[in-house]
A and B are shown apart, each in its own frame.
Chain A
């Protein structure tokens, strides 16, 4: 099925460990986004990309890095995980910037202990 796929679906990290979340879309969308969702705060934009080879900071970029080496993939990296990064992470993609119709992945639940 076409759509946005996130891996892994869940992960537990120790403080200071690193990891990469992968987002893949097969809809040839130019625009991709990484969000985090925390209780009562809704979705906050971490980083986004307007095309292959480009990335930009969102609302809460600190502690994260991203790369868009291929159009279909958008990677979110945590170099040194902190408990404050415990959250559910969502990836999304869209044909038009800031959507009109964005497709979301199923989420990655990350716990940092």
Chain B
């Protein structure tokens, strides 16, 4: 059964801490892995990863994919209260990329 599992389910940290969110997957015909930040009315796209070992970076956020071990991590350094959100991982799979599998998200709370 195709699935995406995120861990931890929730996390509370202090401003300035560094956090690492995990996303593991088991799918048939992997195509890409996507990270979103869910806040307000729609998830905000963060990264799309297709190749192993290539880190993608945007400001304090970075992510990397390991296609051998079937997981990805999302790192946030020097966290701020504005980083508080649910972070979603989704995997695109299937012969023609017609299937997306979402994890249930990691709820991150950053306290001052």
> Are A and B interaction partners?
yes
Inter-subunit contact B98/A109 (CB<8 Å):
yes
Does B25 make an interface contact (CB < 8 A)? no
Question: Contact between A42 and B45 (Cβ–Cβ < 8 Å)?
Answer: yes
Q: Is A103 an interface residue (CB 8 A)?
A: yes
Q: Do residues B86 and A99 form an inter-chain contact, with CB atoms below 8 A?
A: yes
A106 touches B40 (CB 8 A): no
Q: Which residues 68-113 of A sit at the B interface, judged by CB distance below 8 A?
A: 88, 90, 98-104, 106-107, 109
Interface contact B99-A43, CB-CB below 8 Å:
no
- Are B97 and A43 closer than 8 Å at their CB atoms? no
> Which label, helix, strand, loop or mixed, suits the secondary structure of the A interface?
strand
Cβ contact within 8 Å between B98 and A100: no
Cβ-neighbour of A35 out of B42, B97, B99, B101 (below 8 A): B42
Q: Are B98's CB and A107's CB within 8 A?
A: yes
Chain A contacts for B41, CB-based, 8 A = 45, 48, 58-59, 98
From 79 to 112 in chain B, residues with beta carbon under 8 angstroms from any chain A beta carbon are 86, 88, 90, 96-102, 104-105, 107
User: Is there an interface contact between B100 and A43, defined as CB atoms closer than 8 Å?
Assistant: no
A contact set with B: CB distance below 8 Å: 9-10, 35, 40-45, 48, 58-59, 88, 90, 98-104, 106-107, 109
